[in-house]
A and B are shown apart, each in its own frame.
Chain A
Amino acid sequence: MQAWIPIEALWWLGLYAAIGVLAPWLLRWTPKGRSGLDTSPRKLFQRGELGLFGLLLAISAVLDLRRSGLPTQLILANAVILGLSGLMAASAWLEDYSRVSQGLANPDQRTWVDSRKLLFLVVSIAFTTEVLLEHSVEVWQR
């Protein structure tokens, strides 16, 4: 099976996870953290950052599709659907950013729920695409 996520992408993901998740989580154990600093995922990703992660995942799956050797029209159709779902996931963050920069109210709860659900969609499509690619490789090798 080909590499699903390129090594460079893994580096950046690891860095993002370390800075974005681990560091705030460690803060919980400091005396100041115990005094009520909220480091739950909902609070950390309240501005729709999960949507950006969805876009990155969609791009990785599209890159993997390009190397798969499937017929061109099949790759194109799959890439369009993956790209569209990735862009919609990223739009959760973009919408929040635009509204906040214009000084409009944007409920945190809505952005968090939208980005989380759209990330679920991207992960599902990317996972199924990888299963289908794996299945195709097995059949062709038989």
Chain B
Amino acid sequence: MNRMMSLYPLNAVKVRLSDSAVLAGAVSLLYALALIVCPRAFPELLERIFKWGYLFPALAVLLVAANEILFVLISRRRAQKPDLFTSGGIALLTIAVVFVFAGLVYAAYAQAQLAHHLSSFQTFSWVRDGISSEELLVYAHLAMVSGIFLPYLVVRGTQNYVFDANSADHDAKVRNAAAGQ
């Protein structure tokens, strides 16, 4: 690993957690505002898009675009070159986070349908035949916030690792040079 890193030294992109926190917080507030302004239309719209099967793919596309724009802005502000490796990593992590939440929603949907089918043998008429719009609202909110915040949390963690590894590599080179003299 160290030999690999000495051959291809990684560029430690300086990202701070607070950079993504503002975007995630603003998205969360906008979501709450949409729910306050349109308490019926907004959940119905989300439910309709979910039934068409476009909710989570659309969320993934929007969040990847938002995260990439944010990454370019952070790099420009810190006067560093945005590298393809980190931006690709951010895109992959964003998609992974969104699809984890999609999995949770589909699991809840399947559970509700199973409960509905089992209850059809009984007299429980109150059991729903799918996921409720309230649950969908909460899951969509969590997917949006964590789709922005979690990829940058991972990048922040790996940035420390890359910085430590590069420093260790630099120290080893200095020691070897001193020993050679």
- Evaluate contact between A128 and B18: CB separation under 8 angstroms: no
Instruction: State the interface size on chain B (CB cutoff 8 A).
Output: 35
The DSSP consensus for interface residues of chain A is helix
- The 0/1 profile, CB within 8 Å of B marked 1, for residues 113-131 of chain A is 1101110110111011101
Which of chain B's residues 125-156 have a Cβ closer than 8 Å to chain A? 132-135, 137-139, 141-142, 145-146, 149-150, 153
Which residue of A116, A121, A132 contacts B141 across the interface (Cβ within 8 Å)? A132
- B22's closest neighbor in chain A, by CB? A117
**Is B39's CB under 8 angstroms from A81's CB?**
no
Partner of B32, one of A73, A116, A117, A128: A128
6 example contacts (A-B, Cβ-Cβ < 8 A) are as follows A73-B104, A81-B146, A84-B153, A88-B17, A124-B32, A139-B132
Min Cβ gap A21→B in Å is: 22
Using A118-B17, A123-B25, A124-B25 as known contacts, say yes or no to A78 and B32 having CB atoms under 8 A apart.
no
Q: Is A135 an interface residue (CB 8 A)?
A: yes
Among B24, B108, B132, B139, max chain A CB count under 10 A is at B24
- Given contacts A74-B135, A77-B139, A77-B142, whether A125 and B18 have CB atoms under 8 Å apart is no
CB of B145 to closest CB in A, whole Å: 6
Question: Quick check: is A85 within 8 A (CB to CB) of the other chain?
Answer: yes
B21 lies within 8 A of A120 (CB): yes
Q: A residues within 8 Å of B by Cβ?
A: 70-71, 73-74, 77-78, 81, 84-85, 88, 91-92, 110, 113-114, 116-118, 120-121, 123-125, 127-129, 131-132, 135-136, 138-140
**B28 close to A125 (CB less than 8 A):** yes
Cα-based distance from A117 to B17 in the complex (angstroms): 9
Return the contact of B22 from the options A92, A120, A125, A136 (Cβ within 8 A): A120
User: Quick check: B28 and A136 within 8 Å, CB to CB?
Assistant: no
Residues of A within 8 A of B36 (CB): 131
- Asked if A118 contacts B21 (CB within 8 A), the reply is yes
B62 at the binding interface (Cβ < 8 Å): no
Kindly state the separation between the CA atoms of A138 and B108 in the bound complex, as whole angstroms.
21
**Taking the nearest CB of chain A, how far is it from the CB of B105, in angstroms?**
10
Residues B26 and A132 in contact, CB atoms below 8 Å apart: no
Minimum CB distance partner of A128 in chain B = B32
Task: Return chain B residues, CB-CB under 8 Å to A74.
Answer: 108, 135, 138-139
- Are A132 and B21 in contact, CB atoms less than 8 angstroms apart? no
Chain A: CB-nearest residue to B16:
A114
Q: Tell me the complex Cα distance, A88–B156, Å.
A: 11
